[in-house]
Amino acid sequence: MSGTITIDWARLRAQSMVFRSVPNARSRKDMNTVRKLLANADAVIVCVLVVIVAGLLWLPTGFPTNEYPGSIRAKVEILQVDNSNVHSVGGLIREGSQDCEVRIADGKFRGTVAYATNNFIGKLEIDKVFLPGDTALAVVDFVGEEVTHVVLVDHYRISLELVLFAAFTLLLIIFAGWTGFKALLSFVLSVLLIWKVLIPLFLRGFNPLLVAMAVVVVMTFFIMILVAGFNRKSLVAILGSLAGTALTCCLAISFGHAFRIHGSILPYSESLLYAGYAHLNLTDIFIAAIFIASSGALMDLAMDISASVHEVVEKKPDITTREAIQSGFTIGRAVIGTMTTTLLLAYSGGYVALLMVFMAQGTPLINILNLRYVAGEILHTIVGSFGLVTVAPITAVLAGVIYTRRPAGLEQAKAVLPQPPATEALNR
């Protein structure tokens, strides 16, 4: 008696996938142990970052705080305003001084009524006008227990800023939970690294390109670890993001010098030079600012592709490396279009008034494109977009290769399986 037995080798291989990481009960126990260790590692990383953030909060910058004995900063309420010494020039520009009666709202002189001065220097972007009922930040000079002079600094905005930040924090934690808390921690860490490390090292004359790259590397590492955990997903995102950052840095250095754009186009750069920091290389600081500004978008795109390909591989464990890479490319193409536009809008938004001036005056387009302020923004946008275009395929390739690597358990399972013959049917 003879018959035909057909062996479904594809189904047999699919069933063997269960052996790839848990071939026996002991392996399942080991895997649970690994998961617990990873969870503990996540908590340890958060604790370490909390300690680092606390250390950065207390870390002195090494630069004066412009606080002197006999003076404090306090919140004041504007009671009355005297504009008799204010002179208007052309209906827009003000000169002179505004005399105000104020009540100090906090600090050791809380409740004290005094007279304050608000000086005008003839610049709309700097001058401020106070009205009765406003609150302001002021410098209060005193001798002993007596207030001698009060100078108004600006409208008081700290309370509103704290409310806005608290609302952002609450929404982030409600929506994302533990991950939201970690994202908030990474946000605070980034702010402190910029304010307590990057800026002081710039002012001390360290190489801006090296300092900026080091800070970006540190931020990328900790942000990815906090958001994704200590796993292959964060590893792929870190490698992809840093690859794009390195390319952005090289392009910024090359074209930044070739464009012959001086770093004085940075806002307040001249004030910095006149304040005693003429030794600073503003051009290198400008170039460093290019890849610092684009690093956030690069991290975003790298994590998007890494997480997406990881999910694809999790849902289809038998996917090939080539298919996983192709999936990453498809995801990257969809994201790059909007991300490039995001960079354009982010960089050009601060120059809307300048563009309006060009149009109002009928400035020729060739003059606009050749102006160093505009050329600087073009350099920002295009170099950052270069980084986005390259980080997508790099991250996709890394994700496809790393995520589809088969554990040793799978290879052992394959070794005990019979190999398919030349034909799918065996006769007996």
| Spatial separation of the C-alpha atoms in residues 45 and 43, rounded to whole Å | 5
| Whether residue 327 sits in one domain with residue 270 | yes
Q: Check pLDDT > 50 for residue 412.
A: no
Q: How far apart are CA 220 and CA 303, in angstroms?
A: 11
> How high is the pLDDT of residue 33?
57
Residue in the structure block whose two tokens are 């307040």: 268
The enclosing domain of 76 has a CATH number of 2.40.50
What pLDDT is stored for residue 406 in this prediction?
Answer: 63
Same domain, 250 and 351: yes
Choose the final residue of a domain: 96, 124, 156: 156
212 shares a domain with 149: no
- 258 in a domain, yes or no? yes
- Examine the fold and report which residue of 156, 173, 194 is the final residue of a domain before the chain moves on: 156
pLDDT digits (tens, 9 = 90+) for 336-377: 877 778 777 877 777 788 889 999 999 899 998 898 888 888
Do 278 and 138 belong together in one domain? no
How many CA atoms does the CB half-sphere of 299 hold within 13 Å?
23
Distances, alpha carbon 279 to alpha carbons 5, 210, 263, 274, 276, in Å:
84, 17, 13, 11, 8
Q: Which of 304, 395, 383 is nearest to 344 (CA)?
A: 383
Does residue 118 contact residue 175 with C-beta atoms inside 8 Å? no
Query: For 41-70, what is the mean pLDDT?
Result: 84
pLDDT over 60 (residue 20): no
Do 240 and 365 share a structural domain?
yes
pLDDT digits (tens, 9 = 90+) for 21-44: 444 445 555 555 545 555 567 788
87 forms bridges with which residues in the sheet? Answer: 95
Give yes or no: residues 377 and 258 share one domain. Answer: yes
List the one residue out of 253, 329, 323 whose CA is nearest residue 284.
253
Residue 84, pLDDT > 90, answer no
Same domain (yes/no): 257, 379: yes
Inside any domain, residue 187: no
Specify if 66 maps to a domain: no
On whether both 293 and 389 belong to a single domain, the answer is yes
Same domain, 312 and 209: yes
Classify residue 107: in a domain, yes or no.
yes
Confidence of residue 416 (pLDDT cuts 50, 70, 90): very low
Which range marks the domain in which residue 84 is found? 71-156
pLDDT at 130 exceeding the cut of 70: yes
**Does residue 11 register a pLDDT over 60?**
no
Whether 268 and 340 share a structural domain: yes
Is 194 buried (19+), middle (13-18) or exposed (0-12) by CB count in 10 A?
middle
Is residue 125's pLDDT more than 70? yes
Residue 58 falls within a domain, yes or no?
A: no
Q: Are 248 and 242 spatial neighbours (Cβ–Cβ below 8 Å)?
A: no
114 is written with which tokens? 């005094």
C-alpha to C-alpha distance for 379 and 302, rounded to whole angstroms: 22
Show the 3-state SS of the chain: CCCEEECCHHHHHHHHHHHCCCCCHHHHHHHHHHHHHHHHHHHHHHHHHHHHHHHHHHCCCCCCCCCCCCEEEEEEEEEEEECCCEEEECCCEEEEEEEEEEEECCCCCCCCEEEEEEEEECCCCCCCCCCCCCEEEEEEEEECCEEEEEEEEEECCHHHHHHHHHHHHHHHHHHHHHHHHHHHHHHHHHHHHHHHHHHHHHHCCCCHHHHHHHHHHHHHHHHHHHHHCCCHHHHHHHHHHHHHHHHHHHHHHHHHHHCCCCHHHCCCHHHHHHCCCCCCCHHHHHHHHHHHHHHHHHHHHHHHHHHHHHHHHHHCCCCCHHHHHHHHHHHHHHHHHHHHHHHHHHHHHHHHHHHHHHHHHCCCHHHHHHCHHHHHHHHHHHHHHHHHHHHHHHHHHHHHHHHCCCCHHHHHHHHHCCCCCCCCEEEC
Q: pLDDT higher for 411 or 106? A: 106
pLDDT at 207: 94
Given a cut of 70, whether residue 156 has pLDDT beyond it is yes
Average pLDDT, stretch 401-416? 62
In a domain, 270, yes or no: yes
Of 331, 304, 309, nearest to 319 (Cα)? Answer: 309
Whether residue 318 is predicted with pLDDT greater than 90 in this model: the reply is no
pLDDT at residue 383 greater than cutoff 80 = yes
Half-sphere exposure of 200 (CA within 13 A, CB side): 13
Number of domains in the chain: 2
Check whether 18 has a pLDDT greater than 50: no
Q: Which of 134, 156, 178 is the last residue of a domain?
A: 156
State the sign of the Cα–Cα–Cα–Cα dihedral 53, 193, 139, 147: positive
Q: Same domain, yes or no, for 135 and 272?
A: no
Do 221 and 147 have their domain in common?
no
Quick one: average pLDDT of 233-239?
A: 93
What pLDDT, in 10s, does the model give residues 95-118?
888 999 999 998 888 999 999 988
Average pLDDT of the segment spanning 120-128: 84
The DSSP bridge pattern shows strands 93-104 and 86-89 to be antiparallel
Neighbouring-strand partners of residue 183: none
Mean pLDDT (the chain, rounded): 82
pLDDT for 229: 79
Instruction: Kindly report the CATH number assigned to the domain that includes residue 237.
Output: 1.20.1640
**Cβ 321 vs Cβ 401: under 8 Å:** yes
Percent pLDDT > 70 in the chain is: 84
Residue 172 lies in a domain: no
> Is the residue at 417 inside a domain?
no
pLDDT tens-digit map of 272-286: 888 888 888 999 999
Structure tokens at 111: 């409740």
At residue 132, does pLDDT exceed 90? Answer: yes
